Structure 1
Amino acid sequence: MGFIDKMKNKVDETVGKAKEGTGKATDDRSLEFEGKGDQSSANLKQAGEHVKDSAGNVKDAFKK
């Protein structure tokens, strides 16, 4: 996983947490759920990047 991708996903996750917290504090359920969705999306992206990394590691192991 590239450094830039990791940072983008982390920013998306952090923004999602902020939205969720703001939604809870202001009793705005829509914003709270939007934040949770942003966090889930960032986590899925991170998981996909980990799968790509793992596949690359397996490919490299067979080259040796």
Structure 2
Amino acid sequence: MFTSNGGGIDVSNIKVNGKSADYDVNGTALHITGVSLKKAAQANVSMEFSAAVFCFFVPSQ
């Protein structure tokens, strides 16, 4: 995810309301699957992630 220009993010251990959840990464979108919520319901989502940020630095002259 976010691999252009050397950056990236890895996600794992996704939980919805304390229960492990399946997920799919499509480009820059994270889709949590197999979970259904009633209309207007709230959920607590937790995950572990690590991110690498590409920094392009041009020194001033």
Question: Which of the five TM-score ranges fits, normalised by the shorter chain?
Answer: under 0.3
Higher strand proportion (structure 1 or 2)? 2
* Greater relative contact order structure (CA < 8 Å, 6+ sep): 2
Higher helix proportion (structure 1 or 2)? 1
